[in-house]
Amino acid sequence: MSKISITFDTEPDLHSGKYLSITQGIPRILLILNKYQIKATFFTTCDCIEKYPQIFQELKKQGHEISSHGYRHLRFDGLSYNEKKEQIEKSIECFNKYFGEAPKSFRAPQLSISNSTLDLLEKYGFKYDSSYAPLDFLLLLYYPKKFRLWLKQFFSPRQKYKIRKNLYEIPTSAFFIPFVSILFRVFHRKAIQFYLNILKLFHNEISFYFHSWDFIDIPQSRIARTWPKEKIIKNLDYFIKKNKNDFCRMQDLIK
């Protein structure tokens, strides 16, 4: 039986930079998770935590995993070494302040991971990273100027592995298209389940992600207007119901 980890990149709203994805999106997510008693992993930027600490403290209290998505939502491959170091150090300060402990896991914004970032994660005691997306063609379409980064990720291992001596990599599951929220916007619910069954042929552990802003209205986004949040919510509810005994937090994949 495959284990399934559902994760949410939790950050300011797409296009507007507001925080409706926190005040409206997270409650909609929790309605589904609580309905089936599922625990998830939230990769969260610190501006969200600083603005709404009680929301994230309550998530942690309920048993969800709160992980780092950077101090701010900045691509790490565009930062200098010292800037990356500052982002990670400020994230650790933020987590210590609001949760009483340092973050143990990380996902780079827009999967913009680099060797120097991985070195810093190991240096600061992170347990795992989740910024790789092997066999993912969609990432190249989104960021065509990042061909070298995409190529490295595309041919990376599909299963959990040690990317550094003291650091694991838990990649997003994919079979040429990533197992992410766009599938839940576009595909029929039975097609999503069929795709999961294909992934299970190649993966013992399945990992997929949404964004917190997938669960709010975004008038500026043509994709969100064409395939609104209601379809994501409906498809996710069906998907979790069908597979509810298989879910775990991402941190549980390396215990």
How confident is the model over 154-204, as pLDDT tens digits? 888 889 999 999 999 999 999 888 899 999 999 999 999 999 999 998 888
Cβ proximity of 127 and 105 under 8 Å? yes
The answer to whether the CB of 182 falls within 8 A of the CB of 224 is: no
pLDDT at 145: 72
pLDDT of residue 153: 85
How would CATH label the architecture of 3-254? Answer: Alpha-Beta Barrel (3.20)
Identify which of 218, 67, 35 has the alpha carbon closest to the alpha carbon of residue 131. 67
pLDDT confidence bin for 229, thresholds 50/70/90: very high
φ, ψ dihedrals at 230, nearest 5°: -60, -35
Looking at the predicted structure, is the pLDDT value of residue 142 above 80? no
pLDDT of residue 130: 98
Mean pLDDT of the chain: 94
CB 74 within 8 A of CB 66: no
Query: Which pLDDT tens digit goes with each residue over 42-60?
Result: 999 999 999 999 999 999 9
As a whole-number percent, the residues of the chain with pLDDT over 70 amount to 98
pLDDT of residue 152: 83
**Confidence band for 151, pLDDT divided at 50, 70 and 90:** confident
Q: What is the mean pLDDT of residues 27-33?
A: 98
* % of the chain at pLDDT higher than 90: 84
Can you say how many angstroms the Cα of residue 107 is from the centroid of all Cα atoms in its chain?
Answer: 7
Whole-angstrom Cα distance, residue 193 to residue 49? Answer: 33
